[in-house]
Structure 1
Amino acid sequence: MLLECRVENFAIIEKLNISFEQGLTVLTGETGAGKSIIIDAISLLAGGRGSAEYVRHGAKKAEIEALFEINDSHPVIAVLEEIGIDSPDQMIVIRRQISENGKSVCRINGKLVTLSNLKEVGQRLVDIHGQHEHQELMHPEKHIGLLDRFGGEQLEELKTQYQECYIETQNTYKQIQKFSKNEQQIAQRIDLLKYQIKEITDADLKENEEDILLEERKQLVNFEKLYQSLQISYESLYGENKGLDFLRQAVNHLEAIQDLDANIKSISNAVSNSFYILEENAFALREHLEQMEYQPERLNMIETRLNEISLLKKKYGQTVKDILEYLNGIQKEYQDLANHDQTIDELENKLVKQLAILKDKGTKLSSKRQKIARDLSKAINRELKDLHMAKAQFDVRIKTPELLDHFKSYQFQGIDEVEFLISTNPGEPLKPLAKIASGGEMSRIMLAIKSNFKSFIGLTSIIFDEVDTGVSGRVAQAMAEKIYQLSNASQVFCITHLPQVAAMADQHLYISKKVANNRTATKVQSLNDTDKIAEIGRMISGVEMTDLTKKHAEELLKLAQEIKS
């Protein structure tokens, strides 16, 4: 569960420290007070996309930190181990900073992680369901993803096997398409490849050649400066009354007295060694000078060669290594195109075999989906009865192609087209969900779907952001009870404007905003029993609290307590 969350300088939140409890936590308050901002902060800890706009005006950075408690069998542990993070005492601390320039820093248990790592961990801890998720129900192409989530690990394994095979088959299909272009295009491509191969091959490039040439050019361009400096250095060391001459005198005098003073002997040896080292290097300087020769022709050759390499780099790669790798690639392509009839035959035979495997895997995946679809339909219809849609009939329609002999019959998600259908009134035929369901019905359908997903995803915390939009009365009460049932298996947070949902809360947080020093800030208050009555009364009546609304609020809380117990 999420134990605690700290938010600083995030949107209109200056500083908040919130402790959470097990069960159902509801967040209520006036529109614009900052309820959804708190959920946005938690979503960033789950790997949501950050932005400089989240940083409170005038602050350098926004910071969000949360403490999660997990059990020793939680699926997130395997993910943490994979990225090298320990979870001592089954505790996870996630921290995220967003600077005013939009840059984001993420840490898990003190270790820096990438945003993708954070997302992998966060999505196994928190699942956020907002009003935007209703849009998934409005788009049939999203339905296959929802169905597959219900399928659990077995379906996921079949889907992974299918998708791996699909990618391999797709690559073969693309190669056939490339080699099946008209003869004129192939001939033009062969001519181009032939020219490029000859140009690069004739250049006879060596991988380290450019570095060697650049070093040699530097020496030739600076020949005069090098020669003069070496000549002066040699003459300073070697010759009459030069450095080595004076050093030789010092050596002779020290050797003459070294037996008279024990301390002098070590100095004499050191000076003598220095003399021989310098003398040896002086000879080396002389040899180097004797070998040096100014070669303007060689410099011109180097410039020409470097220019040739530069032109090739502009065409074929940023480095000589890149050019040679490009050459290997076009040589293979040239061979394939030159023998394209044979290549196509080989690829088509390969595609036939791959399609047979893909068909088998796709059919198995489809059969599993058919079973999952029947199970999901039954489960949703049971839930809809609880949500006062007893006359409604929900079904999942799966369409598959009649022929599976061509690659175009397959999609990355499988061979199926999935669409949710519903009939909301007796005697009416099943029709696409997106066309006939109202906003309130969509809310109930989404809650019914999510209620069934919970048993498969094993999350630490579930967050509902105003999923009860468009409902009231006994439907609102049914939704409240359904959300509470979810909290028996997992910690649940719910932003709501419904008093029925608020009454079911184990923890009730009231979100308000205040203005101080011309700045707006969000405040969170944990309500006691008396405060709960007042807040639920406000939710019932609007603003004015009357004896009747107070009594109604008390009755709601009493009813909720009876249901919970």
Structure 2
Amino acid sequence: MLAELSIKNFAIIEALSVTFSKGLTVLTGETGAGKSIIIDAIHLLVGSRGSAEFVRHGEEKAEIEGLFQVDDHKHPVIAKALEFGIDVEEGMVILRRDISQTGKSVCRINGKLVTISTLREIGATLVDIHGQHEHQELMDDSRHLSLLDQFGADNILPSLSEYQQVYRRYEQTLQKLKALSENDQQTAHRLDLIQFQLDEIQKANLKLNEDEDLFEEKRKLSNFERVFESLQSGQLALQGEQKGLDWISMVMGHLEDAAALDTAYKGIYEAVSNSYYQLEDAAGVLRNELDVLEFDPQRLHEIEDRLTEINQLKRKYGKTINEIVEYAVKIEEEIETLQNKETHIGELEKELTSVKKDLILEAKQLTEIRLKWAEKLTKLIHKELKELYMAKTVFEIRFESNSLQFSKNGVDHVAFYISTNPGEPLKPLSKVASGGELSRIMLALKSIFSKHQGVTSIIFDEVDTGVSGRVAQSIAEKIYKVAAESQVLCISHLPQVAAMADTHLFISKIIKGGRTKTSVTPLQMDEKINEIGRMISGTEITDLTKKHAEELLYLALENKKSVSALTRQ
């Protein structure tokens, strides 16, 4: 859920920090107080287009930051964040966006700089904002198949997975056949090219790890002079008149005399004696090494030429010798295939026919399962619409299936159709006019799909416009029902919706120092009664209005208990 929102220097908001809770949060207030500005800020926070107009007059930049808490480790935001290399620790996602006076944006997710498109992708898994005049996911025909699959996930997704496995085989076989079916001239050119490449690689006679061994040998040869001088200096320092071994031999003689007179010095004598003989052996090894050390400039040239040859092959065929060898094996197989083209085409055609039969069966089974779930979804939507006093509305899920037009999601195209008036033809949901009917249709769909979409927060921006009376009460209950599955933030002018709120925030504006500022105040019970009274009657609040507001809050409490009980079932 959206746990906290911080806004600074945004439109008429100077500085604002709002803490949100689970359930239904309703934002109310006078027109122009800044309710929609807060929603605009959330819009920008999840990746919508920004501009310099959002920056408060006289300030350098607007700052928006939101903390989201994700309880489910399987929430889609976690996988999406990892896709972009963003760590999600302790289930917290922090989005931040700064907009400068020039209109440029700086976006961060958990402190990491990201692009607007990345912010938008992450934001889409966290927040779904629905306004009366916006085309959201449910209004997009191309998304209806996905929504149906989410609704019937337990049965549809396993069938879809089986279909997709066969579909991948079908695509791979089709691509191989297409590549082989190219004209003879293209085939000849391809064969000449890869035969040349194979000859070049085979001629090089590569050995695994050869380059590493050559680098090591080159390093030794390149440092030959310094190594020789060091060994020679060491050997000369040990052996020769008045050199290291002579002096240690002298020490050993003196200590031998001392040890003969006093056994207490036997230990130190033996230590020096052992050191002498070890150093004598080391001097012999150095002498032998110096005798065999020989600089071979020709060998160094050979190594450099060989490494140059290997590097040229790496630039063409792979980053390592192993990759080059693997590429050679691959094109060797391709050469054999192209040289026996007709035989392989025949085999692939048989394979394609067989896979296609399997694919048609899988697609048919997937369509049948989807049709069953479409029927269930249709019944549920009619039930929701009836509760919203749209009993005469007809909803239909239409399938257009072509058994020969395969895609990764099957052969089905699904679209939601609706008719809100008896005798009127069914039209695509995307063509339904906006207004009170659209608000109810969207709420009916949201009531069903909210728990399948996985978003953390759903925001309704005045979706209840154009309704009143018993329809308003029904809409309030629907919004509360959606809030049982996802956190819901709702801007509303309906007292029925405000009465159902778990948290009621009052948005107001004040003028201070000649500047307009927006403030947000969580309302307590007495304040709720006054605000709902204002929403009922307008500016004048009478005792009768307050009684009406109290009654509305009491009825809302009873309705919330009923909705919660139904949700738990």
Instruction: Settle same-fold status: TM greater than 0.5.
Output: yes
Deviations 1:24-62 (A, max 9, x none): 332345336763378679x97xxx99x9x99x9999x99
1:446 equivalenced with 2:447 (yes/no):
no
Q: Aligned to 2:522, which of 526, 531, 535?
A: 526
Match of 1:94 among 71, 86, 92: 92
Query: For 2:27, what is the secondary structure of its paired residue?
Result: strand
Kept in 1, the 8 Å contact 2:163–2:366? The answer is: yes
Cα contact 1:186–1:337 (8 A) shared by 2: yes
Superposed displacement of residue 507, structure 1? 1.9
Are the counterparts in 1 of residues 26 and 505 from structure 2 also a CA contact under 8 Å?
yes
| Structure 2 match to 1:496 | 491
Of 478, 481, 491, which aligns to 2:477? 481
Q: Is the 8 A contact 1:476 1:498 kept in 2?
A: no
Query: 5+ residue gaps in structure 2?
Result: 83-89, 99-105, 113-117, 559-569
Q: For residues 6-21 of structure 1, what are the structure 2 equivalents within 5 Å? A: 6=4, 16=17, 18=19, 20=21
Q: Measure, in 2, the Cα distance between the counterparts of 1:302 and 1:206.
A: 14
Provide the C-alpha distance between the structure 2 equivalents of 1:335 and 1:11, rounded to a whole number of angstroms.
Answer: 69
Describe the superposition over 1:423-455 as per-residue Cα deviations: whole angstroms up to 9, x where unpaired: 22221111222223325433322221121235x
**Given the alignment of the two structures, is residue 436 of structure 1 paired with residue 432 of structure 2, yes or no?**
yes
Distance 1:210 1:551 in 2: 93
**Pairs within 5 Å for 1:111-126:** none
Instruction: For 2:552, give the aligned amino acid.
Output: L
Structure 2-normalised TM-score? 0.78
The AA in structure 2 aligned to 1:325 is E
Helix, strand or coil: the match of 1:437? coil
Whether the 8 Å contact between 2:198 and 2:328 is mirrored in structure 1 is: yes
- CA shift for structure 1 position 227: 2.1
Shift of 1:204: 0.9
In 2: Cα distance, 1:293 partner to 1:233 partner: 18
Corresponding position: 1:31 with 2:34: yes
CA displacement, residues 462-516 of structure 1 (integer Å, 9 cap, x when unaligned) = 52332616433244443212112344x4464222132332222122133568899
Q: Secondary structure at the match of 1:5?
A: strand
Q: Who is 1:134 aligned against?
A: 135
SS of the equivalent of 1:349 reads helix
Match of 1:376 in 2: 377
Percent sequence identity over matched residues?
37
- Letter of the 2:488 partner, please give it: F
8 Å contact kept, 1:163–1:412: yes
For 2:172, the equivalent position in structure 1 comes to 171
Q: Which runs of 5+ in 1 are unaligned?
A: 84-91, 108-114
2:463 aligned partner, one-letter code: D
How many aligned positions are there? Answer: 522
Q: Is 392-401 or 275-284 further displaced after alignment? A: 275-284
- SS in structure 2 at match of 1:422: strand
Structure 1 pair 394/229, CA: closer, same or farther in 2 (3 Å)? same
Indicate yes or no: 2:274 matched with 1:273.
yes
Name the structure 1 match of 2:241.
240
Q: What letter is aligned with 1:161? A: E
Structure 1 position 18, deviation (Å): 2.9
Determine the structure 2 residue equivalent to 1:558.
551
Instruction: Work out whether residues 6 and 15 of structure 1, in 8 Å CA contact, stay in contact via their aligned partners in 2.
Output: no
| 2:420 aligned with 1:424 | yes
Alpha carbon RMSD of aligned pairs, Å?
4.3
Q: Verify the 8 A CA contact 1:7 1:16 in the aligned structure 2.
A: yes
State how far apart, in whole Å, the 2-side matches of 1:281 and 1:511 are.
89
Q: Is 1:464 aligned with 2:465?
A: no
Does 1:545 pair with 2:539? yes
Change (3 A) 1:8 1:467: closer
Query: What is the deviation of 1:244?
Result: 1.9
Match of 1:198 in 2: 199
- 1:291-306 equivalences in 2 (<5 Å): 291-306=292-307
CA contact under 8 A between 2:26 and 2:492: conserved in structure 1?
A: no
- What secondary structure, in the 3-state scheme, does the structure 1 residue paired with 2:489 have? strand
1:367-406 deviations in Å (ceiling 9; x for gaps): 11112222222222222233243332111100112xx3x5
- For residues 385 and 330 of structure 1, what CA distance do their matches in structure 2 show? 65
Cα gap change, 1:269/1:458 in structure 2, threshold over 3 Å: closer, same or farther?
Answer: farther
1:348 maps to amino acid:
E
Q: Which deviates the most, 305-314 or 461-470?
A: 461-470
Assess if the C-alpha contact under 8 Å between 1:387 and 1:479 holds in 2. Answer: yes
1:144 CA drift (Å): 0.8
| 8 Å Cα contact 2:255-2:269 kept in structure 1 | yes
Partner-residue secondary structure (3-state), 1:508:
strand
Instruction: Say which is worse superposed, 386-395 or 285-294, in terms of deviation.
Output: 386-395
Q: Is the CA contact (8 Å cut-off) linking 2:432 and 2:438 kept in structure 1?
A: no
- Contact kept, 8 Å, 1:134 with 1:442, in 2: the verdict is no
Q: Which residue of 1 aligns with 2:347?
A: 346
Query: How far apart in 2 are the matches of 1:96 and 1:275?
Result: 70
Contact 2:39 2:461 in 1 (8 A): no
Contact 1:36 / 1:465 at 8 angstroms: preserved in 2? Answer: no
Q: Is the 8 A contact 1:9 1:15 kept in 2?
A: yes
The 10-residue stretch of structure 1 (192-201 or 319-328) with the greater mean CA deviation from structure 2: 319-328
Cα distance in 1 between the residues matched to 2:286 and 2:509: 81
CA distance in 2 between partners of 1:152 and 1:15 (Å): 41
Distance 1:224 1:517 in 2: 82
Asked if the contact 2:446/2:482 (under 8 Å) is kept, the reply is no
CA contact (8 A) 1:33 1:513 kept: no
Structure 1 residue 292: deviation in Å? Answer: 1.6
Q: Secondary structure at the match of 1:399?
A: strand
CA distance in 2, matches of 1:514, 1:350: 75
Cα offset for 1:134?
Answer: 3.4
- Name the CA distance, whole Å, in 1 between partners of 2:319 and 2:161: 38
Does structure 1 conserve the Cα–Cα contact (< 8 Å) formed by 2:66 and 2:95? Answer: yes
Q: Residue 258 of structure 1 aligns to a residue in which SS?
A: helix
Q: How many angstroms apart in 2 are the aligned matches of 1:332 and 1:522?
A: 71
8 Å CA contact 1:129, 1:467 repeated in 2: no
* Cα deviation digits, residues 252-276 of structure 1 (max 9, x gap): 3223323555664443333333333
The residue number in structure 2 matching 1:325 is 326
What's the CA shift for 1:525?
Answer: 3.0
* Cα distance, 1:170–1:400 mapped onto 2, change above 3 Å: same
SS at match of 1:381: helix
Q: Is the 8 A contact 2:177 2:349 kept in 1?
A: yes
My pick for the range that moved more, 132-141 or 284-293, is: 132-141
Residue 427 to residue 67, structure 1, CA distance change in 2 (3 Å): closer
Structure 1 Cα separation of the partners of residues 21 and 412 of structure 2 = 43
- The residue aligned with 1:212 is 213
Paired with 1:8 and 1:261, the residues of 2 have a C-alpha distance of 87
**Could you tell me how far 1:195 is from its partner in structure 2?**
0.3
